[in-house]
Structure 1
Amino acid sequence: MTAPVLGKVEWQPTADVPGLLAAPVRAALGEIPAYAAAIDPGLADTAAFCAEYDVPMAASANCVIVLGKRAGEATYAAVLVLATDRADVNGVIRKHLGVRKISFAAQDDAVASTSMEYGGITPIGLPPDWPVLVDEAVAQAGPVVIGSGIRGSKLLLDGAELAKLPTATVLDLAQH
């Protein structure tokens, strides 16, 4: 595979750099064609990463973990939107999950539940019963940068691959 050029990072096939992936991400990546690049962990947050490494915000996707509740039942889900957009958590996402209340999962809960580092949580390698809600713009974006499960690296893959994850649903999730 010829490594893509995006920003000022050195993308390498994930099979060649397993240490750049959190264990659950490494285990779940399988045959998904993806690349990884080492970054400064202090620059893992999207805005800082994009500014430092010259990656357009429109080529980056944020993954947030939400927690919905209804009648004492809790539902975790991953939500992916482009870094240029905001997820409609209280509208589309809450309704799709069929929950009465919804919020962003607490940092400690998100880290413990995913076995990934905060700031690096990604939809690949999440618990198998978690819905993964992918915004249409992410699925159509072409090459997109996402977390790798750790703060010290990023993944690059086609957004359409995220739509193929076993529990993925593509929706119009961005606030308009």
Structure 2
Amino acid sequence: MWGLTTEPARERPDLLAAPVAAGLEGWEPAERVLAAPIDPDFADTAECAAAYGIPLGSSANCVVIAAKRAGQVRMAACMVPATARADVNGVVRRHLGARKASFAPQGEAVAATGMEYGGITPLGLPEDWPVLVDPAVLEAGPVVIGSGLRSAKLVLPGADLGELPGAEPIAGLGVPTD
């Protein structure tokens, strides 16, 4: 698919962060998830798309959000098309009932997910995290997302992301970028 060499993800645990491999266990759509090795220098979405001939509209980004209210921090993940940015201070903040929402600092995101920065994915996140998904991602055919490692990507039907534990489709989550 595109310039990626894919194999069933469950057959390539070496291409998955440990929490991602665990997240695939018992998840019914796991049989449709493919893994592909990539050059880790091209882990960032735009570079990966260019290097492997993946249309940006077929890629989605997972961003980790820290939402704060009354001194409490609640973590969440947002899945948006690569052609959009997450509306963190509007849609996300309001949906999570937070006074303030921001991108989680890199170190905190890595520690909380057990995944590498630049490879964070919604598969295998802590169970109490909401996974907010832009409907455009759910409507995508095959979509390329992180594998938890910078050295691989996952390919799966976008609709399957709506089947993740804690997944919530949120209209207006992604704001198109120019």
TM-score norm. by structure 1 comes to 0.95
Q: Deviations over 1:83-109 (max 9, x none)?
A: 011111111110000000011000000
The answer to whether the Cα contact below 8 Å between 2:10 and 2:24 also exists between their aligned partners in 1 is no
Q: Residue 175 of structure 2 corresponds to which residue in structure 1? A: 175
- Of 10, 22, 45 in structure 2, the residue corresponding to residue 27 of structure 1 is 22
Task: Determine the structure 1 residue equivalent to 2:11.
Answer: 16
Query: Partners of 1:47 and 1:175 in 2: how far apart?
Result: 17
Distance 1:140 1:73 in 2: 34
C-alpha deviations, 1:39-88, integer Å up to 9, x for none?
A: 00010000000000000000000000010100011010000000011111
Structural mapping, 1:133-172, within 5 Å? 133-172=132-171
1:175, CA displacement in angstroms?
A: 2.0
CA distance in 2, matches of 1:59, 1:109: 28
Name 1:111's counterpart in structure 2.
110
Query: Is contact 2:8–2:35 with CA below 8 Å preserved after alignment?
Result: yes
For residues 111 and 165 of structure 2, the distance between their equivalents in structure 1, rounded to whole angstroms, comes to 22
- C-alpha distance in 1, partners of 2:142/2:163? 15
2:99 corresponds to which residue? 100
1:60-99 to 2 correspondences below 5 Å: 60-99=59-98
Letter in 2 for 1:103: S
Secondary structure, counterpart of 1:76 in structure 2 = strand
The runs of 5 or more residues in structure 2 that have no matched partner are none
The 3-state SS of whatever aligns with 2:149 is: coil
Percent of aligned positions with the same letter in both sequences? 57
Distance in 2 between residues matched to 1:167 and 1:143, nearest whole Å:
21
Q: For the residues of structure 1 that align with 2:124 and 2:111, how far apart are their CA atoms?
A: 13
Moved over 3 A (4+): none
How far does residue 174 in structure 1 lie from its aligned partner after superposition?
1.5
Extract unaligned runs of 5+ from structure 1.
Answer: none
Structure 1: distance between partners of 2:95 and 2:14: 36
Structure 2 Cα separation of the partners of residues 15 and 67 of structure 1: 30
Letter of the structure 1 residue corresponding to residue 159 of structure 2? A
Question: Helix, strand or coil: the match of 1:86?
Answer: strand
The residue aligned with 1:48 is 47
AA matched with 1:23? A
Instruction: Report the CA distance between 1:29 and its aligned residue.
Output: 1.1
